[in-house]
């Protein structure tokens, strides 16, 4: 809805939760946005994103947790506003090392996405806030979805025990973008 209460687009979300062994959870998140009424304009702002997470307060970077991205950047100073195929936010909950990774899919708009990831636990895949992320107000992240067209986004959320390396986050990401083959004999 617009700020005037008018319908702008249609949204459909499909969430698939896999039955996996203890210590890991995989959630696939599909988002379909259709400009059903007229073109839909997504403005350039770091305060947006179409998949956002808040981590448990005890996992926040300011509480001793940490974040890392697919390029090896660590902490808010190196991860905020940077592009990466995935980010992982880790910490300890009741003495158990754990983390939450978000994977960006190669067919998504502006892949790899930029990350609006903060030390207070906010965690967003955001491909709109380019002027803030690049520090150049001449670069706009505004995106116009033409009337009658659809934007499709696919992300995977990987909730895991252990920190990034122990949880094989890089390998899990590769399994996400290159589906493993299975044969039945």
Host domain of residue 95:
16-29+52-138+155-176
pLDDT score of 75: 96
- The reply to whether 1 falls in a domain is no
Q: What is the mean pLDDT of residues 136-144?
A: 96
Per residue in 31-44, pLDDT (tens digit) is 999 999 999 999 99
In the three-class reduction of DSSP (H, G, I as helix; E, B as strand; rest coil), residue 155 is classed as: strand
- The reply to whether 40 falls in a domain is no
Residue 2 predicted with pLDDT over 80: no
- The reply to whether 23 falls in a domain is yes
Which residues are CB-contacts of 102 (< 8 A; sequence separation ≥ 6)? 51, 53, 86, 87, 123, 125, 155, 156, 157, 158
DSSP state of 7: -
Per residue in 54-81, pLDDT (tens digit) is 999 999 999 999 999 999 999 999 999 9
Provide the percentage of residues in the chain whose pLDDT is more than 90.
89
Question: What's the domain count of the chain?
Answer: 1
d(CA 116, CA 160): 21
Name the token pair of 170: 């890089």
- The reply to whether 183 falls in a domain is no
d(CA 102, CA 125): 8
- Ranked by mean pLDDT, the top range of 4-8, 63-67, 180-184 is 63-67
Extract the runs of DSSP E, i.e. beta strands, from 127-183: 143-145, 150-161
- The reply to whether 115 falls in a domain is yes
- Terminal C-alpha separation, the chain: 52
Question: Residue 182 — very low, low, confident or very high, per pLDDT cuts 50/70/90?
Answer: confident
- The reply to whether 7 falls in a domain is no
DSSP state of 90: E
The half-sphere exposure of 29 on its side-chain side, counting CA atoms within 13 A, is 17
Question: Residue 185 — very low, low, confident or very high, per pLDDT cuts 50/70/90?
Answer: confident
Alpha helices, H only, 111-153: 130-134
- The reply to whether 38 falls in a domain is no
- The reply to whether 146 falls in a domain is no
CB contact at 8 A, 86 and 72: no
């Amino acid at each position: 809805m617009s700020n005037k209460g008018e319908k702008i687009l249609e949204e459909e979300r499909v969430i698939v939760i896999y039955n996996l062994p203890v210590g890991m959870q995989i959630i696939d998140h599909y988002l379909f946005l259709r400009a059903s009424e007229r073109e839909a304009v997504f403005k350039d702002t770091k305060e947006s994103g179409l998949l956002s997470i808040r981590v448990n307060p005890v996992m926040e970077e300011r509480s001793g947790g940490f974040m890392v991205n697919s390029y090896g950047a660590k902490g808010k100073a190196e991860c905020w506003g940077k592009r990466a195929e995935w980010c992982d936010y880790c910490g300890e909950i009741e003495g158990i090392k754990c983390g939450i990774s978000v994977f960006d899919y190669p067919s998504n708009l502006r892949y790899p996405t930029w990350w609006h990831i903060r030390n207070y636990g906010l965690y967003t895949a955001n491909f709109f806030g380019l002027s803030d992320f690049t520090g150049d107000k001449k670069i706009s992240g505004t995106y116009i979805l033409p009337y009658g067209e659809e934007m499709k986004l696919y992300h995977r959320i990987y909730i895991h025990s252990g920190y990034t390396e122990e949880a094989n986050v890089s390998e899990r990401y590769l399994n996400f973008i290159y589906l493993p083959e299975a044969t039945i004999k």
